[in-house]
Amino acid sequence: MLLKFTKMHGLGNDFVVVDAVSRKVYFNKAQIERLGDRNRGIGFDQLLVVEPPSNPDMDFRYRIYNCDGSEVEHCGNGARCFAKFVLDRELTHKRIIDVETKRGQIQLKVLDDGQVCVDMGEPSFVPADLPFVAEGLMDLYPIDVAGETFELTPVSVGNPHAVIRVEELSDAIVERVGPIVEDHERFPNNVNVGFLQVLSSDEVNLRVYERGVGETQACGTGACAAVVAGIKQGWLAADVLVHLPGGDLRISWQGPGHSIQMTGPAEKVFEGQIYL
């Protein structure tokens, strides 16, 4: 099969996007792993597959696969790239796009400056929603990592995140702690791990170790999780600028009962085709 694709990125978090609206496309795990191989394939953090909706009230459905072939529930940077992709390919002319994902429905707004605002839905701090194994509800949960104890905030934003506040962001802590927490027995489905450095009530630095991928240049759901965790803990205000290695995102959350709003860019890198 000759596969046409578009390579895109959101703040360096990179994607291969495939149109499965105009033509039916199916992938198996081995094909996704091959495409995701940065030496022998195209290379990406996630593969995004744009499909027709199953719900007639929605405009599209899209599926998200890590480079290891695993399917995930949500991807904020991918959602912004998705919006730019369907407009560039003239699959829609709407500037407000309603989309189905594995985790539910989301809404994307393409702004006049080309940035995309994503309604990311409401977060959940209930451990079972991640899932996270916990005895009772706490503000911060201690977790043992190779004999050292860290405090984290578990939060679901459609996919599971563990947010750890640190005084300094270093390669050592991300590379050492990230993979251990990702695969910790208290997270039965594994977890994305965010390392949050608070600069002020409305500005933070963040690095995210993503499950099934490793550290990425940016993680949209990770930025959302980190900000709402910071708001819950009283560290942050309702509107926060998040500095990630790949660039900046603006995250807003008005508290329980409200959706998270994420605003940021999306860029097309190139279009191509490859035989599967």
55 labeled part of a ligand binding site = no
In 3D space, the residue among 128, 105, 2, 20 whose CA is nearest the CA of residue 57 turns out to be: 105
77 labeled part of a ligand binding site = yes
Which of 67, 75, 81, 224 is the catalytic position?
75
81 labelled catalytic: no
Which of 67, 117, 219, 224 is the catalytic position?
219
User: Is the Cα dihedral 156, 162, 168, 169 positive or negative?
Assistant: negative
* DSSP classification of residue 128: G
Distance, CA of 39 to chain centre:
24
**Long-range contacts of residues 91-94, Cβ cutoff 8 Å, at least 24 apart:** 91/19, 91/21, 91/22, 91/50, 91/60, 92/59, 92/60, 94/59
66 labeled part of a ligand binding site = yes
76 labeled part of a ligand binding site = yes
Distance, CA of 95 to chain centre:
21
211 labeled part of a ligand binding site = yes
Cα distance between residue 125 and residue 130, in whole Å? 8
Binding residues for substrate: 13, 46, 66, 76-77, 159, 192, 210-211, 220-221
Q: Which residues are catalytic?
A: 75, 219
Binding residues: 13, 46, 66, 76-77, 159, 192, 210-211, 220-221
